[in-house]
């Protein structure tokens, strides 16, 4: 059981940190940030607009993160969930990435079972290859994950300007926000930052997602990128009319979502982000969990510093990490 827990934890770490690294590298550009001399911003809208205008003005950087996942396990749960119980699973770590060299390295510590289980994992990406280190041994990353990383990077490299605007789709992401407000300025790792917080109208978000998917122009774009089987399944769902119930259902499943953003008052660069929500599976799902609460915080530590990553030696196949 402990080996299964270890492999599961390593796999979760690989996926989560992989997503963080891909997002970081895919979002980078070649601009250079400049300090702002503008007057202090006085509204949440102004802060978000300034951060959006500044954009991802770096090609490399480093940061740290913390993810806390707290399950509420049903009384009849068995296996791994019974071992974990209602104690939080905590992932903490660091990420450094360079978009130009397509290199990244991350270290994550995973703690579960009220401290009864703890392990550390290191991940590296270099070009189209990746590795994970556990227990002092390096392993190749799963081929399917490497393929998804490569697909994400290729999609970004080939991406042109959007061919469908929000106005054409009839959506406005600002309507997804609930209680958007500027809480003032705070110090984050020694940096003065605006703190913006907001909730979300999950029902409205889900309704707009459906509206986007139903758009003929978006469907044409999806047909060029989504496997035919998945596309056919989506078209059947749209034709059935069952998606009409999705917005109300989504609002019951995703409870109390909240996002917090901290933006450097000097450069208008994003300094820290936070997100929290509780997922409540519907009774029809017959899930062994009654709910899962997720709290994420990610902080940018430095920008523009070169990231040096080298391929490890004596690498073992991923299959050696699989439970017997």
Cβ contacts of residue 107 below 8 Å, gap of 6+? 93, 94, 120, 121, 122, 123
CA distance 117 to 248: 38
Structure tokens, 285? 């799902």
pLDDT of residue 105: 93
pLDDT of residue 235: 81
CA 87 to chain centre: 22
Q: What confidence tier does 26 reach under pLDDT thresholds 50, 70, 90?
A: very low
| pLDDT(158) > 70 | no
Least confident of 35-44, 71-80, 108-117, 154-163: 154-163
> pLDDT tens, 234-290?
888 778 877 888 899 999 999 999 999 999 999 898 999 999 999 998 888 777 888
Which domains occur in the chain, in start order?
2-31+41-321 (2.50.20.20)
Strand partners, 73: 289
C-beta separation of 254 from 203 below 8 A: no
Highest mean pLDDT among 6-15, 23-32, 62-71, 216-225 belongs to: 62-71
Type and span of the H or E element at 124: strand 117-126
C-beta separation of 307 from 68 below 8 A: no
Give me the chain's average pLDDT, please. Answer: 80
Percent of the chain surpassing pLDDT 70: 79
CA distance 145 to 14: 9
Q: Enumerate the H helices of the chain as residue ranges.
A: 2-27, 44-54, 79-84, 143-158, 166-169, 202-214, 216-223, 228-240, 246-253
Quick one: average pLDDT of 179-193?
95
Quick one: average pLDDT of 301-315?
88
Q: What is the largest CA-CA distance in the chain?
A: 62
pLDDT of residue 25: 41
pLDDT of residue 21: 46
| pLDDT(106) > 60 | yes
Percent of the chain surpassing pLDDT 90: 37
pLDDT of residue 287: 79
pLDDT of residue 286: 79
pLDDT of residue 29: 40
| pLDDT(8) > 50 | no
> pLDDT tens, 91-105?
999 999 988 888 899
pLDDT of residue 19: 44
| pLDDT(45) > 70 | yes
Q: Torsions phi, psi of 119, nearest 5?
A: -150, 160
pLDDT of residue 238: 77
C-beta separation of 120 from 108 below 8 A: yes
């Amino acid at each position: 059981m402990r080996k299964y827990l270890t492999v599961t934890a390593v796999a979760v770490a690989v996926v989560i940190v992989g997503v963080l690294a891909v997002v970081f590298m895919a979002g980078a550009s070649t601009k250079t940030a400049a300090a702002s001399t503008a007057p202090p911003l006085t509204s949440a809208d102004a802060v978000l607009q300034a951060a959006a205008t500044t954009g991802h003005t770096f090609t490399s950087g480093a940061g740290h993160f913390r993810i806390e996942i707290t399950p509420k396990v049903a009384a009849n749960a068995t296996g791994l969930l019974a071992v974990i119980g209602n104690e939080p699973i905590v992932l903490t770590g660091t990420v450094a990435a360079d978009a130009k060299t397509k290199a990244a390295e991350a270290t994550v510590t995973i703690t579960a079972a009220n401290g009864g289980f703890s392990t550390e994992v290191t991940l590296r990406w270099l070009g189209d290859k990746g590795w994970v280190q556990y227990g002092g041994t390096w392993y190749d990353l799963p081929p399917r994950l490497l393929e998804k990383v490569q697909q994400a990077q290729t999609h970004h490299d080939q991406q042109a300007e959007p061919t469908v605007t929000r106005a054409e789709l009839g959506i406005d992401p600002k309507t997804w926000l609930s209680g958007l407000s500027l809480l003032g300025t705070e110090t984050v790792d020694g940096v003065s930052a605006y703190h913006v917080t907001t909730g979300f109208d999950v029902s409205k978000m889900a309704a707009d997602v459906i509206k986007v998917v139903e758009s003929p122009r978006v469907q044409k774009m999806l047909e060029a990128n989504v496997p035919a089987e998945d596309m056919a399944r989506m078209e059947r769902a749209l034709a059935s009319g069952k998606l009409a119930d999705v917005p109300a259902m989504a609002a019951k499943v995703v409870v109390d979502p909240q996002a917090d953003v901290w933006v450097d008052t000097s450069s208008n660069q994003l300094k820290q982000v936070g997100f929290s929500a509780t997922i409540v599976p519907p009774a029809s799902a017959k899930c062994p969990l009654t709910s899962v609460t997720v709290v994420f915080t990610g902080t940018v530590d430095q920008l523009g510093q070169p990231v040096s990553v080298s391929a490890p030696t004596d690498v073992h196949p991923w299959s050696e990490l699989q439970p017997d």
